Amino acid sequence: MRHRLIRSVFRELFGASRLEKVVLFIPFIVLIIDADIFYYAWRHGEQSILTASAFVLILSILEILAVVEELHKHLSITRRREQLEEKLRGIVEEMDRPTVRKVMDAFMKKYPDEYRVSEVYHAACDMLVELRKS
């Protein structure tokens, strides 16, 4: 129960692709540089630099939060699509000569409220194209 949010965020980060990790790593580098400038201005009493660096530091923190949120949305969509394709694959394997219409009808009958029709349609089309190529 404790630290569930932190564990879920780290699980998502470790499951992210290399590009997504780099996109998240860059704002942390900027944050460290901003913190160093802020500390320098604090130690030397530079009010104008302190104010500007505090503003940039806050923006860096907000950027990190935005990147984590975008990463979460992207991974959620990807995970949902993978689950949909897994369910569709089970339905397609049961059919003799699957068509998009047959797959759509069978899927929507079995899982009526889980997915939108447009999601299922695009995934079914992609799956049947992949099936015909192999």
Q: Which of 7-16, 73-82, 100-109 has the lowest mean pLDDT?
A: 7-16
| Number of compact structural domains in the chain | 1
- Residue numbers of the domain that contains 105: 4-133
pLDDT in tens, 55-87: 999 999 998 898 888 888 888 888 899 999 999
The pLDDT value given to residue 2: 65
Distance CA(8)–CA(98), nearest Å, equals 38
Global pTM reads 0.70
* 49 conformational bin, left if phi > 0, alpha if psi -120 to 50, beta if neither: alpha
> Which residue type sits at 33?
I
